[in-house]
Amino acid sequence: MKMSMHWQELLPADQYRVSSAGMLHNYDRNVLTRLYQPLIGPICLSLYMSLWSELEENRLWAEPTTHYSLMNTMGLNLSDIYEARLQLEGIGLLSVYKKKNGETKEFVYELHPPLSPQQFFTDGMLNIYLFKKIGKGAYNRLKKFFSDDVLPVREYENVTKTFAEVFASDHSLYVSDEAEGAKEPLVRQQFIDRQEGTLPTGFEHQFDFDLLMAGLKSSLVPRKALTPRIKTTIAKLAFLYDINPLEMQKLVLGAISIDDEIDEEHLRKSARDWYQIERHADMPSLVSRVQPVIYRTQMDSPRNQEEEHIQRLETVSPLQRLKQLSNGAEIVEADLKIVEDIMLNQNLNPGVVNVLIEYVMLKAEKKFTKNYVEKIAGHWTRMNVVTVKEAMELARKEHRKYQGWADGNKSSAKGSRQKATRTEMVPAWLNKTEEKQTEQKKVVAVSDEQKKAIWEQVKKLNAGGDHADAKD
C-alpha cells in the first residue's frame, strides 16, 4: 500500500556513479555504526555502506551502474532507497548531482566522510540528539570508547629536530626534464586526500535574523559580535530547541561578555536551560519536521477544501498542528512525548501523525491519552500508512472500531478533568464518515417502508382472494 512519488525523481534505469569527497578509512565504519546509525537507522547506514563498497580501494570514483542493480543488492524497493538517500543528504554524509541524458538521468553520489568523534561530540546538535536517543549511560560509554587518556607530554622536554636541522638543499645548476615535469599541474584529476566531515547545514535561512536584530540595540550587542560562526550557532540552537527570534534575543543578551563578544558556550547552555524550563524535557529528539516530499499528494493546485487541508497537513509539523489545535497555547510535555514516541517508535510520517492528532482531538473528542493514540498508531503502522490521504481513508473506514476502543477506555477516564472545548472547525474529511452512515440509515429506512407497503398490498390481495372464494 506504500505510495510515493519517488518515480518523478528516480527510475530503476537511471545510472549513478559513486565518488568520494575524501579518502574513507576503516575507522569511519565505527563512527558511522556507533554514532550515526542511532540517528538515521540501519537502512540509511546500509545504503552508505553499499555505495562505499562500490569504490575500489584507494580510489575516488566507481564505475557507472543502475539503480536497479542497487535495488537487487540491497533487497529494497526504490522508494526506500530514495528516502534513505534523502536522510544521508540531510545529515551531511552525501551530496547528489544530476544530469539529464535524454529520457533517463545520470547521478553522481558523492560520499562524505563522517565527522570525527571530537567534531561529533562537540557539535552541539547531533550529540544532543544522540544523547536523547540512546540515554546517558550508553552515551557516556560511547564517549569513553572514542577517547583515550591524555599523555602528559608537557612534562617532557621537546627534543624534536626541525626540517632545516636534518636536511640540506642541493643547489646544482642542472635541472632534468623529469624535474621540470614535476611542476606541471594535474589536468582533470585530483589528489586522493582526506577531507573533514560535513556538518548539517540549512539552518540560517529558516531563522529570522532581521527580527532578532530589530530587538537588539547595537549599544548592547555590537553588530561585529554576530560573526558568521555565532550566527550559525544561533540558527542551529533555534532549530534544535524550537526557539523563536524574540526568545533568542534574551538569550543572546545574556551571553554578551565584558569584551562585547557573544560567549558561544554560555549561549548553548542558556538555550539548553531555556528548553528544559519551557518544555519540561531534558533533550529534544531528531524527527522529520514535515511530511517527506516523496509521500506528498502531487497536485498543481487544490481543487476543493479537502485537498487544501491535505496540503496543509503535509506542510506543517506535528508540533505546529498541536499548537494550532490548542489555540496557540504551549503544548504540555505529556502530549509532546506521545507524539514523539509514535513518530520514532511507530515510524509514522509527520503528515500521518497530523491526521492522527486531528482524529483524536477533534473527531473523537477524547483526551490525548497514550494508550488510545498508540493503539491507533500501531494499527496504521501495520497497515503501512505513509500518506495523509491513506490515513484519512483508513480513519473513515475504521471509525466504528476506533470509537469502540475509545469507549473501552471510558471507565478509566471517569473522574478525570475534561479538556477545554476546542473552537476550531472540524475539517470536512472527518465528517464524511457520519454523513455516509446517515445516508446509509436513510436508505435502510426507505427500504423498511417499502417492505411494509409491499406487505400491506399482499395482505389486501390475499383478503380479496378470500372474498372471491367465499362468493364462489
Looking at residues 298-305, what average pLDDT do you find? 74
Query: Given pLDDT bands bounded at 50, 70 and 90, which one contains residue 58?
Result: low
In one-letter notation, the amino acid at residue 45 is: L
Query: Given pLDDT bands bounded at 50, 70 and 90, which one contains residue 137?
Result: very high
Other beta carbons less than 10 A from residue 376's beta carbon:
23
pLDDT value at residue 445: 47
Cell matching residue 226: 554576530
Q: Are strands 104-111 and 15-20 parallel, antiparallel or unpaired?
A: parallel
Q: Whose grid coordinates read 584507494?
A: 58
Cell matching residue 332: 504540555
pLDDT value at residue 218: 76
pLDDT value at residue 417: 43
Helix/strand/coil percentages in the chain, nearest 5: 55, 5, 40
Beta strand segments in 194-331, E: none
Cα torsion through 113, 118, 119, 123, rounded to 10: 140
Find the range with the poorest average confidence among 148-157, 158-167, 265-274, 321-330: 321-330
Mapping DSSP to helix (H, G, I), strand (E, B) and coil, where does residue 116 land? coil
pLDDT value at residue 49: 95
Strand order in the sheet with 94-101: 65-66, 15-20, 104-111, 94-101
pLDDT value at residue 431: 67
Find the range with the poorest average confidence among 48-52, 72-76, 107-111, 415-419: 415-419
Q: Which helix (H) or strand (E) holds 97?
A: strand 94-101
pLDDT value at 414 more than 70 = no
Q: What is d(CA 200, CA 305) in angstroms, rounded to the nearest whole number?
A: 37
pLDDT value at residue 145: 92
pLDDT in tens, 229-272: 888 888 888 877 778 888 888 898 888 888 888 898 889 888 88
Mapping DSSP to helix (H, G, I), strand (E, B) and coil, where does residue 117 land? helix
pLDDT value at residue 173: 54
Calculate helix-pair angle for 42-53, 67-74, nearest 10 degrees. Answer: 120
Cα angle vertex 399, ends 393, 400, to 5°? Answer: 145
pLDDT value at residue 89: 92
Mapping DSSP to helix (H, G, I), strand (E, B) and coil, where does residue 302 land? coil
pLDDT value at residue 26: 87
Cα torsion through 136, 137, 142, 145, rounded to 10: 140
pLDDT value at 176 more than 60 = no
Query: Given pLDDT bands bounded at 50, 70 and 90, which one contains residue 468?
Result: very low
Rg (CA), the chain: 32
Contact by Cβ (8 Å): 54, 164: no
Mapping DSSP to helix (H, G, I), strand (E, B) and coil, where does residue 324 land? helix
pTM: 0.54
pLDDT value at 167 more than 60 = yes
* 393 Ramachandran zone, left/alpha/beta (phi>0; psi -120 to 50): alpha
What's the whole-number average pLDDT of the chain?
77
Distances (CA, A) of 156 to 151, 152, 153, 160, 162: 10, 8, 5, 12, 18
Query: Given pLDDT bands bounded at 50, 70 and 90, which one contains residue 435?
Result: low
Distances (CA, A) of 117 to 87, 145, 240: 20, 10, 20
pLDDT value at 281 more than 90 = no
pLDDT value at 169 more than 80 = no
Q: Whose grid coordinates read 427500504?
A: 447
Among 385, 360, 355, residue whose Cα is nearest residue 370: 360
pLDDT value at residue 425: 46
pLDDT in tens, 335-380: 877 887 777 667 788 889 889 988 888 765 556 778 888 889 989 9
> 104 φ, ψ to 5°?
-110, 175
Contact by Cβ (8 Å): 368, 342: no
Distances (CA, A) of 24 to 110, 267, 283, 369: 12, 34, 32, 47
Contact by Cβ (8 Å): 342, 377: yes
Cα torsion through 264, 267, 271, 274, rounded to 10: 160
pLDDT in tens, 369-412: 788 888 899 899 888 888 999 999 988 888 888 878 776 655 44
Find the range with the poorest average confidence among 111-125, 206-220, 321-335, 344-358: 321-335
Q: What is d(CA 401, CA 47) in angstroms, rounded to the nearest whole number?
A: 39
The length of the chain in residues reads 472
Query: Given pLDDT bands bounded at 50, 70 and 90, which one contains residue 433?
Result: low
In one-letter notation, the amino acid at residue 302 is: P
Among 24, 80, 81, residue whose Cα is nearest residue 54: 24
Looking at residues 282-289, what average pLDDT do you find? 63
Q: Which helix (H) or strand (E) holds 232?
A: helix 228-241
